[in-house]
Amino acid sequence: MRVAQQVLHRSARAISLSEFADAVRETCKPRFPEARGVIHRQVALAISGGVDSMALAYLCSQIRRFDPDIKITDNPCSGFRAFVVDHMLRGGSTAEAKNVAAALNDLHVPCDILQINWKKELGDSVEIGDVTNIESVARRARYRKLGKALAFRRMATLLLAHHEDDQYETVLMRLMSGHRNRALRGMRKAAGIPECEGLLGAYDSGWVDDQNRQYPFYSTRLTKRQRKYLKYDLRSSINQCVDEDLDENTNIGDECGIGGRLLNFDASTELGTIPIEDGGVNIYRPLLEFSKDRLIATCLENNVPWFEDATNQDPTLTTRNSIRHLHRSCDLPRALQKPSIIALSKSWQRRAETQDAEAERLLQRTILHDFEPHVGSLVVQLPDIPAVTSRRYTRTEERYRRRVSRMRLITALAIQRIIALVTPELQAPTVANLQNVVSWLFPGLADTSDGQTATPPKAFNIAGLHFMPIDSTPRPTAALSQSHPRTWYISRQPYTTTSPLPTWRVSYWSAIKPSARTTHHVRWKWSAWMPWQFWDNRFWVRLTHRLPYRVIVMPFLSDHTKDFRASLSSKDRKRLAILLKKFAPGKVRYTLPAIYSEEHLDLKNVVPRVGYPVPEDDYIPGELLKREGNSPPLAPIDPSKMRLLALPTFNIQLPGLESWLLHEVRYKRADRQTLRAMTSHRNRSFASRNAGRRENAKTVTVGRKAMTRRSRQTADEQHCSTSVDQ
């Protein structure tokens, strides 16, 4: 790095603290509005040493003097900590990182230097010079390093220094790549940290651990004042219900609007409770509304040094550098200049917000009949969207197609959010890849221009999920119903034979000397708790054990069903049959996570095979046992030799396993806003909404007639009493 040449447009002015504070409040909005964040929390800064990041560091170092109690996301800010990533890709990078850290210390911002170990990232067999997409690889390594550091320090907010010029370059690059519509929004002000999948505490997780602490950052407990008002409301509701002489079986909590507000999606009476993760690290970009000239002016006015990377000025190195060079040295057409591109980006941001709001309203019309995080399945009843036949949109073909296209976009956005609840893929399908799904789920929006008629819905697969239609029409009227069933059972797609099964093979095995082999409990050492593993991108699993064999987490295999049932107690055997039939019917049960021992093991007489872990055919008597460690597996997994020990999500395991193995399991993040938007109707039948509306209409009509009769009777009585008095 070198000190940048101080070149500044004269009209640019420094960013004031009030402007920056407003930008932070606008960008860093609360993630959990229903929770109370009263404990102060540190905020992380990603600092590269450039003028943009150094300006961010300076403004953050001064903002608490301007507003000591400023709240960033959910918690009051207790201070800032900078993280400088040393990529170790060129000579002198370590010394340069230390110079940046020294400059941050002068600003009274504590700093950590994170060095990337490329041998650990790429492996011993790959040289960093042989990597062609070094920019993408470095980006992934950088974010994962930041994610691990923030998760270790229990930090959830990371501020980045992307500014208006970066936004301009991003949108222009997407235009050049052929992206359209919502992709032209550019960089979002707030988003989850990328490239950190599988890191507990960084990737959509950390909520459960926070709630288990004595003093959590997110407090969901009611305050004394809230309990006081809740008690008052409850008493008033009870008195009102008593005055109205309601039926004694009335559910006061539901009728009075108390029980419906607190939805518990992670509890089931038969299955128990499984924690659902949430939280993680979010990145925020509070400087997107400020140009680079203003950032330079901020550093110059406050004597803040910055450092420039010479590689950022090479137009032949990256596409972004080329665009930056064109923007500075060439007179581009007005449509490609910065004001036009930024205006285009903001226009699409407003459109996207409107579209997301419409998708939210569509989800509010969707009925969530069941959500089982123990299995990863959904039962939803989609709203009926009739075909667009209004004369307003059928006068011209173009207006009609625009209307249908917009409705298909809104439904695709809603389907995206539903799929994200249970999909094993890290990203939900794009809107373009959901066009066929929209036609299958909403026949009224299907393209019938080719003369094809709508067909009854059929099961299909998308995003690793299996959609199966459920007939929601009562049987007596099924023959009269001409509409398609709109209730769908969504579960994990069965695993195919062509793709490998999701597998976590634990390296630890409790080994003792061959001469001391015994089943005495003291001889077998417990392992430490293994790091959390994101199994099948659906379940967080960790375990500790003292078995003499390695433990494997794989799907529930049908070949092990018979032996597993036979090994259970009669009570657990009946319970397993009930749970599988009710919650995991058909092939869905074979997508559940299961815990195996690598080789067959009798828990009543734990004696390992001689020579383990060396394969039986390769074992030489007298050879010392070697621990696997981080080396590749000594032998491929043989499912025929394994033994099924437990189904962790169903909490069913072999008798006595708790003396040898302990496990914990959590479900992945399920967007609670999506779950709350879809009204929960678990206690209702799968009747159509029209039937419900007809019943409500009948009830209202009967009620009105009864009220009319009562009023007439009351009037007659009053008339009679008046006549007698006279």
Measured CA to CA in angstroms, residue 718 lies from 679, 723, 725 at distances of 46, 9, 11
**Residue 4 is assigned to a structural domain of this protein:** no
Q: Which residues of 7-34 are buried (b: 16+ CB within 10 A; e: fewer)?
A: eeeeebebbeeeebbebbeebbeebbee
Of 123-137, 609-623, 639-653, which range is least confident?
Answer: 609-623
Domain count of the chain? 4
Query: Which pLDDT score is estimated for 500?
Result: 94
Say what the pLDDT of residue 419 is: 98
Nearest alpha carbon to residue 603 among 645, 566, 550: 645
The verdict on 655 and 615 lying in the same domain is yes
Write the pLDDT tens digit of every residue in 323-348: 887 777 788 888 889 999 999 999 99
Q: What percent of the chain stands above pLDDT 70? A: 79
Residues 702 and 648 in one domain: no
- Residue 326's pLDDT is 79
Question: What would the two tokens of residue 302 be?
Answer: 């406050």
- Do residues 430 and 415 make contact, with C-beta atoms less than 8 angstroms apart? no
- Cβ-contact 151, 200 below 8 angstroms: yes
Same domain? 291 vs 413: no
In a domain, 236, yes or no: no
Band of residue 566 on the pLDDT scale cut at 50, 70, 90 = very high
Q: List, for residues 515-551, the tens digit of each pLDDT value.
A: 444 445 556 889 999 999 999 999 999 999 999 999 9
Both 417 and 391 in a single domain? yes
Q: How far apart are CA 258 and CA 562, in angstroms?
A: 46
Q: How far apart are CA 373 and CA 421, in angstroms?
A: 9
Asked if the structure places residue 254 within a domain, the reply is no
Both tokens assigned to 621: 């008597």
Closest listed residue to residue 286, CA positions, set 72, 449, 67, 140: 72
Assign residue 62 the CATH number of its domain: 3.40.50.620
pLDDT at 222: 78
Q: Minimal CA–CA distance to 693: which of 254, 255, 365, 241?
A: 365
Distances (CA, A) of 535 to 416, 504, 538: 22, 7, 6
Spatial contact of 647 and 539, defined as CB atoms under 8 Å apart: no
Q: State the residue for tokens 């439904």.
A: 411
Are 628 and 520 contained in the same domain? yes
Say if 226 falls within a structural domain: no
CA atoms within 13 A on the CB side of 346: 9
Instruction: Based on the fold, state whether residues 599 and 532 are members of the same structural domain.
Output: yes
In a domain, 442, yes or no: yes
Domain endpoint, select from 457, 491, 525:
491
- Residue 680 CA: distances (Å) to CA of 151, 653, 687: 34, 32, 14
Query: What pLDDT was estimated at residue 242?
Result: 57
Considering the domain architecture, whether residues 151 and 30 belong to the same structural domain is answered as: yes
At residue 643 the predicted structure's pLDDT band, cuts being 50, 70 and 90, is very high
Same domain? For 484 and 513 the reply is no
Neighbouring residues of 360: CB distance < 8 A, sequence distance ≥ 6: 677
Q: Does residue 180 share a domain with residue 31?
A: yes
Task: Tell the residue number behind the tokens 């608490």, with chain if given.
Answer: 64
**pLDDT tens digits, one per residue of 6-62:** 444 557 899 999 999 999 999 999 999 888 888 999 999 999 999 999 999 999 999
- Pick from 54, 31, 495: nearest CA to 300: 54
Q: Tokens at residue 215, please?
A: 């003093």
Neighbouring CB atoms inside 10 A of 335's CB total: 9
The alpha carbon dihedral of 636, 640, 643, 646 has a sign of positive
pTM of the predicted model as reported, rounded to 2 decimal places:
0.84
Q: Which of 489, 472, 490 is nearest to 481 (CA)?
A: 472
pLDDT digits (tens, 9 = 90+) for 401-415: 888 899 999 999 999
Kindly state whether residues 521 and 427 are assigned to the same domain. no
Q: Do 575 and 708 share a structural domain?
A: no
403, 466: one domain: yes
DSSP assigned state of 641: G
Confidence of residue 620 (pLDDT cuts 50, 70, 90): low
Q: Of 49-63, 143-157, 219-233, which gets the smallest average pLDDT?
A: 219-233
690 has pLDDT over 60: no
In contact, 153 and 42? CB cutoff 8 Å: yes
In a domain, 630, yes or no: yes
| Domain-embedded: residue 265 | no
Domain containing 527 equals: 504-673
- 156 falls within a domain: yes
Choosing from 458, 491, 524, the residue where a domain stops is 491
**CB atoms closer than 10 angstroms to residue 317:** 12
Listed residues 437, 469, 491: the one ending a domain: 491
Number of residues that this document lists for the chain: 726
Give the pLDDT of residue 397. Answer: 78
Q: Per residue in 444-474, pLDDT tens?
A: 888 765 555 566 789 999 999 999 998 755 4
Distance between CA 553 and CA 542 in Å, rounded?
Answer: 10
Is pLDDT of 724 > 60? no
